[in-house]
Amino acid sequence: MVNENLVQESVKEPYKYGFVTDIETEKIEKGLNEDIIKLISHKKEEPQFLLDFRLKAFKKWKKMKEPDWAALGYKKIDYQDIIYYSAPKQKEKISSLDEVDPKLLETFDKLGIPLTEQKKLTNVAVDAVFDSVSIATTFREELAEHGVIFCSISEAVKNHADLIEKYLGTVVPTSDNYFAALNSAVFSDGSFVYIPKGVTCPMDLSSYFRINSGDSGQFERTLIIAEESSSVSYLEGCTAPMFDTNTLHAAVVELIALDDASIKYSTVQNWYAGNEEGIGGIFNFVTKRGKCLGKRSKISWSQVETGSAITWKYPSCLLLGEESVGEFYSVALTNNLQQADTGTKMIHIGPKTKSTIVSKGISAGNSKNSYRGLVKMGTKATGSRNYSQCDSMLIGDQASANTFPYIKSQQPNSEIEHEATTCRISEDQLFYLQSRGIEFEEAVSMMVSGFCRDVFNQLPMEFAAEADKLLALKLEGSVG
Amino acid sequence: MQSKMKESDPILEVENLSASTDNLPILKGVSLTVYPGEIHAIMGRNGCGKSTLSKIIAGHPSYNITNGEIKFFGENINSLEPEERSQSGIFLGFQYPIEIPGVSNLEFLRVSTNARRKFLNKEELDTFDFEELVKEKLEIVKMDHAFLSRSVNQGFSGGEKKRNEILQMALLEPKIAILDETDSGLDIDALRIVASGIKKISNAQTGIILITHYQRLLDEIKPNYVHVMSDGQIIKTGESDLALELEEKGYEWTDNFIKET
């Protein structure tokens, strides 16, 4: 049909963040072995416990096999052909933003993340990560007044080693999966957040991840701890330049919520997706997991996944505390030859735990978009409940959408609900909007945002607007 | 009737229009001219091509024009996109208004209204100014403000959907409105509301085409002309009493006209 083609045409949009910053970087040699890991640890002046952590992880990783159960197809990754540490050359010790290379500030400026005192975003504290290292964190003093720690994880290793030693790897063990083990062995930087007892974090915290080098992988590690009765909203954004090679991104995020604490973690992922023929693009293999350790604690994941050649990601919740709550709200848009296998795991362990899953997948072009989710009720999860809703929207007749729900219940006194739908943008809907003066492209993007509304409603205000804009951008383009 | 002297230029001229979908001819040479201030009714059996004619005038992509032309203020619009036709003042009231899940009715109406305003070189309205405008227009169709926060037509009753169409017409202030069976599925009260809405919106500068099966809408809005369609053609044109005669004698009566022609 004529319109089907037009819809497909309209989802082509050039990637806006594909530029490369020309900056001198310090890179180590390609490849992975114990010496490389020791070198990374040495460069970062790490304590012995962390080096041991890395080496243990590496040992396990060597014995593991790359998972092949996801509905993804890609060329085998050569792990010896990757650079595991790359950092922009800077002065040894940076005491203020004035000493940061202006090229780096300019890069983040171009990405819409101004860091300098005059221009910085007024209501969000930002940790900016460039390749393997954190460049700057804004609003640190203001946050410190409330006892909130927000810094790069390297810095936390130096200044808050006790917290790192206590919590690192407690949610995602080093041997959890192939990519988590790899990350545990080589992670370079990422963000660390600590919210003390009873504190509501006075502003949103945000990390912005930027891959600049083409041949180095990015392995960031994020750890967020919310003490009793505290709460925080954390946002994460990602972009990368256009390269014709695939870059590996294997991150680990761990969240810990104690009694009555709540963590809201939102992601807008817009890594470079490769070109229309599927050349280049980021391989995004991410392990994100939250532990609701405390009673009545709550962890809420929301994600808008639009980039990457491959997305393999299942932000999960371990619901241990009585009456704890886990949530997962996801929009995944794939186009051209992008592949996404994403979803969540809700593991109900404690009694009266609750989880909600809302997933919206949009597939266009020749892309493949799968939802994969596990809901498990353990023997002690009496009176627990789950509600899942998985909707897919297909654009064109070449894209595919799959839903793989896994449901395991060992607890008769619990409830699990699963709903799934698949829809297509119909010609009649488009004609209706067009016959009211609304341009074709805008009509498509209106319907797509309408489809995603339940998820966008969960995002923090500024982020929701950004996500909506991002989808519109991805859907806008060369009609006619 | 086209031989009558008119003081102004026609709004819409459909000239010998033939159209098909999937190579199946639907319209077989339809001609129709609408002058400012005129109300035309088109009647005919299901499947005679009435709805197709309305969709083609609005620019539905599923139909191919095989012959003839559609002129709007003298300009051929055969190749214009549906949105361009709407922006320039052609309005189609749908027989079955489409549901758009997740898209708020208010935002839809605002974007639509602004597209028309932009064409008219009028200032586009922000949410607050638009709220004011829409409040006033809601009165015309006696709709509650709560309709605005719902998704477009989703979960609306038949009558609510039709009133939402008339609300859109009120906001877009078209030059010509083609209302495709706007009266079907309405109870008497809703019919009165819709009919009085149409009357309030139309004026000496606008043209209206009512596509209907029933006399009851034409009792409320008296047409200047009534056309009877059959098998893709207009087989008879008369004044408003033709509709009454049709109601009395049924479409079988009109079958004779085909034999005559």
**pLDDT tens sequence across A219-230:** 989 999 999 999
Q: Which residues are bridge partners to A284 per DSSP? A: A249, A311
pLDDT value at residue A461: 73
Which of A426, A433, A435, A449 to mutate to probe the B interface, most B CBs <10 Å? A435
What pLDDT score was predicted for residue A13?
58
Considering only A122-136, A349-363, A379-393, which range has the smallest mean pLDDT?
A122-136
pLDDT of residue A240: 66
Smallest CA–CA distance, residue A336 to chain B, in Å, is: 25
Interface contact A435-B59, CB threshold 8 A: yes
Token pair 């900016």 in the structure block, residue = A128
Question: Given this model, what pLDDT does residue A111 score?
Answer: 66
At residue A137, does pLDDT exceed 90? no
- What pLDDT band is residue A158 in, cutting at 50, 70 and 90? very high
Residues of B in contact with A452 (CB under 8 A): 102
b/e A459-470 (16+ beta carbons within 10 angstroms → b):
bbeebbebbbeb
3-state secondary structure of B243: helix
CA distance A119 to A479: 36
What is the per-residue pLDDT for A135? 67
In a domain, A275, yes or no: yes
CB contact (8 A) between residue A437 and residue B151: no
The answer, for A13 touching chain B at a CB cutoff of 8 Å, is: no
Mean local confidence (pLDDT), A133-151: 83
Give B-chain residues touching A436 at CB under 8 angstroms.
83, 86, 108, 112, 115, 168, 172
pLDDT (average), residues A126-131: 74
Residue A15: pLDDT above 80? no
User: What is the distance between the alpha carbons of residues A252 and A181, in angstroms, rounded to a whole number?
Assistant: 9
> Is the CB of residue A406 less than 8 Å away from at least one CB of chain B?
no
Residue of B nearest to A423 (CA): B101
- What phi-psi label fits residue A161: left (phi over 0), alpha (psi between -120 and 50 degrees) or beta? alpha
Specify if A207 maps to a domain.
yes
Is A440 in the B-facing interface, judged by CB distances under 8 Å? yes
DSSP A309: S
How far A44 CA sits from the closest chain B CA (Å)?
49
Q: Report residue A273's pLDDT band, with 50, 70 and 90 as the boundaries.
A: confident
Chain B: residue nearest A439 by CA?
B83
- Judge whether residue A116 has pLDDT over 80: no
Confidence of residue A326 (pLDDT cuts 50, 70, 90): very high
| Inter-residue long-range contacts of B157-165, CB under 8 Å, 24+ positions, other chains counted | B158/B185, B158/B186, B159/B185, B159/B186, B159/B187, B159/B190, B161/B96, B161/B97, B162/B93, B162/B97, B162/B186, B162/B190, B162/B194, B163/B190, B163/B193, B163/B194, B163/B197, B164/B97, B164/B105, B165/B93, B165/B94, B165/B97
Q: Mean pLDDT lowest for which of A87-91, A245-249, A344-348, A436-440?
A: A87-91
Query: Does the distance separating the beta carbons of A435 and B168 come in below 8 Å?
Result: no
Task: Check residues A111 and B13 and name the one with the higher pLDDT.
Answer: B13
Across the range A453-475, mean pLDDT stands at 75
Burial of A89 (0-12, 13-18, 19+ CB in 10 A): exposed
Beta-carbon contacts of A398 under 8 Å, excluding residues fewer than 6 positions away, are A8, A365, A366
In contact, A358 and A389? CB cutoff 8 Å: yes
**Shortest Cα–Cα distance, A2 to chain B (Å):** 8
Amino acid identity for residue A286 in this structure = V
Q: CA–CA separation, A411 vs A350, rounded Å? A: 11
For residue A363, how many C-alpha atoms fall within 13 Å in the half-sphere facing its CB? 25
Taking one residue from A and the other from B, the number of pairs with CB-CB distance under 8 angstroms is 77
The tally of domains found in chain A comes to 1
Cα separation of A363 and A392, whole Å? 8
> Is B190 in contact with B162 (CB distance < 8 Å)?
yes
B172 touches chain A (CB under 8 A): yes
Question: Does residue B120 sit at the A interface (CB-CB below 8 Å)?
Answer: no
CA-based nearest residue in chain B for residue A445: B103
Higher pLDDT, A343 or A5: A343
pLDDT, position A288: 96
Q: Which residue of A lies nearest to B172 if distances are taken between CA atoms? A: A436
pLDDT at position A71 over 90: no
Q: What residue of A is the nearest CA neighbor of B103?
A: A450
Write down the pLDDT at residue A3. 45
Q: Which residue, A277, A313, A151, is CA-closest to A223? A: A151
The answer to whether A178 and A283 have CB atoms below 8 angstroms apart is no
Cβ–Cβ below 8 Å for B92 and A435 = yes
On the 0-12 / 13-18 / 19+ scale of CB atoms within 10 A, A12 is middle
- Count CB neighbours of A68 within 10 A: 7
* Spatial contact of A388 and A357, defined as CB atoms under 8 Å apart: yes
Separation of alpha carbons B135 and B94, rounded Å: 23
- 8 Å CB contact between B110 and B130: yes
- Residue in chain B lying closest to A452 (CA): B102
Q: H helices within A372-436, ranges in order?
A: 427-434
Strands A149-152 and A124-130: unpaired
- Three-class SS state of A143: helix
Closest Cα in chain B to A450: B102
Nearest residue on chain A to B150, alpha-carbon basis: A450
pLDDT score of A324 more than 80: yes
* A118 pLDDT tier (thresholds 50, 70, 90): low
A451 at the B interface (CB within 8 A)? Answer: yes
Q: Is residue A445 part of a domain?
A: no
Q: Is the ipTM beyond the 0.85 threshold? A: yes
Whether A444 maps to a domain, the answer reads no
Subunit contact B100:A431, Cβ cutoff 8 A: no
Q: Does A442 touch chain B (CB under 8 A)?
A: yes
pLDDT in tens, A203-215: 888 887 777 766 7
When pLDDT is averaged across residues A23-33 and rounded to a whole number, the result is: 81
Asked if residue A446 has pLDDT above 80, the reply is yes
* Among chain A residues, CA nearest to B90: A435
Whether A156 shows a pLDDT value over 50: the answer reads yes
Could you tell me the pLDDT band of residue A1, with boundaries at 50, 70 and 90?
Answer: very low
Taking the Cβ of residue B22 and every Cβ of chain A, the question of whether any pair is shorter than 8 Å is answered with no
Q: How many angstroms separate the CA atoms of A316 and B110, rounded?
A: 39
CA distance A101 to A111: 16
Q: How far is A13 from chain B (nearest CA, A)?
A: 22
A234 occurs within a structural domain: yes
Q: Where are the beta strands (DSSP E) in A220-365?
A: 221-226, 231-239, 246-249, 252-257, 262-269, 281-292, 298-305, 310-313, 316-319, 325-334, 339-348, 354-363
Host domain of residue A286 = 18-428
Tokens 């395991």 correspond to what residue?
A: A408
Q: Give pLDDT, residue A188.
A: 85
Per-residue exposure over A93-102, b if at least 16 CB sit within 10 Å of its own CB, e if not: eeeeeeebbe
CB count, 10 Å around CB of A430? 22
Identify the helix (H) or strand (E) that includes residue B164. Answer: helix B158-172
Contact A229, A266 (CB under 8 A): no
Q: Which residue is associated with the tokens 């000493």?
A: A99
Q: Does A439 touch chain B (CB under 8 A)?
A: yes
* More confident of the two residues A451 and A93: A451
State the helix-helix crossing angle for B158-172 and B188-201, rounded to 10 degrees: 10
CA distance B193 to chain A (A): 22
Mutate to test the interface with B, among A358, A421, A431 (most CBs of B within 10 A): A431
Chain B: residue whose CA lies nearest to A6: B61
Compute the distance between CA of residue A385 and CA of residue A308 in angstroms, rounded to an integer: 33
CB contact under 8 A, B101 and A442: no
Using alpha carbons, select from A355, A403, A356 the residue that is nearest to residue A378.
A355
Which residues of B fall within a CB distance of 8 Å from A435?
Answer: 58-60, 82-83, 85-86, 92
CA dihedral (A52, A54, A59, A63) positive or negative: positive
A451–B61 CB contact, under 8 Å: no
Asked whether the predicted pLDDT for residue A103 surpasses 90, the reply is no
Domain for residue A360, yes or no? yes
Beta bridge partners of residue B217, listed in sequence order: none
* Stretch among A19-23, A37-41, A251-255 having the lowest mean pLDDT: A19-23
Q: What is the pTM of this model?
A: 0.81
Q: Do B86 and A442 touch (CB under 8 A)?
A: no
At A96 the pLDDT is 62
DSSP string spanning A55-108?
Answer: HHHHHHHHH------SS---PPP-GGGSBS-EEE---SS--SGGGS-HHHHHHH
Which element (helix H / strand E) includes A377? strand A368-377
Q: Could you tell me if residue A129 is inside a domain?
A: yes
List of residues 6+ apart from A463 with CB closer than 8 A: A235, A266, A268
C-alpha R_g of chain A: 22
Please indicate whether, in this complex, the C-beta atoms of A437 and B116 are within 8 angstroms of each other: yes
Using a pLDDT cut of 70, give the percent of chain A over it: 85
The proportion of chain A whose per-residue pLDDT surpasses 90, expressed as a percent, equals: 49
Instruction: Give the residue from chain A lying closest to B116, CA to CA.
Output: A437
Instruction: Please answer yes or no on whether A450 and B101 come within 8 Å at the CB atom.
Output: yes
More confident residue, A195 or B102: A195
What is the C-alpha to C-alpha distance for residues A362 and A480, in angstroms, rounded to an integer? 22
Examine residue A433 and state whether it is found in any structural domain, yes or no.
no
Q: Which pLDDT value is given to residue A2?
A: 38
Q: How many whole angstroms separate alpha carbon A394 and alpha carbon A370?
A: 12
Contact B103 A446 (CB under 8 A): yes
| Per-residue pLDDT tens digits of chain B, which is 261 residues long | 444 456 789 999 999 999 999 999 999 999 999 999 999 999 998 889 999 999 999 999 999 999 999 999 999 999 999 999 999 999 999 999 999 998 999 999 999 999 999 999 999 999 899 999 999 999 999 999 999 999 999 999 999 999 999 999 999 999 999 999 998 888 888 899 999 999 988 889 999 999 998 888 999 999 999 999 999 999 999 998 888 888 888 888 877 776 555
Dist. CA A40–CA A20, nearest whole Å: 24
Question: pLDDT tens-digit profile of A261-271?
Answer: 999 999 888 87
- Greater confidence, A21 or A299? A299
B87 and chain A in contact, CB less than 8 A: yes
d(Cα A316, Cα A318) in Å, to the nearest integer?
7
Spatial neighbors of A169 by CB under 8 A, at least 6 apart, are A53, A184, A254
Chain A hits for B102, CB-CB cut-off 8 Å, are: 447, 449-454
Over 50: is that where the pLDDT of A4 sits? no
CA distance A364 to chain B (A): 19
B98 vs A428: CB contact, 8 Å cut-off? yes
Closest CA to A436 of B213, B87, B239: B87
- The shortest CB-CB distance from B83 to any of A428, A437, A450 is to A437
Q: Is A3 on the interface with B (CB under 8 A)?
A: yes
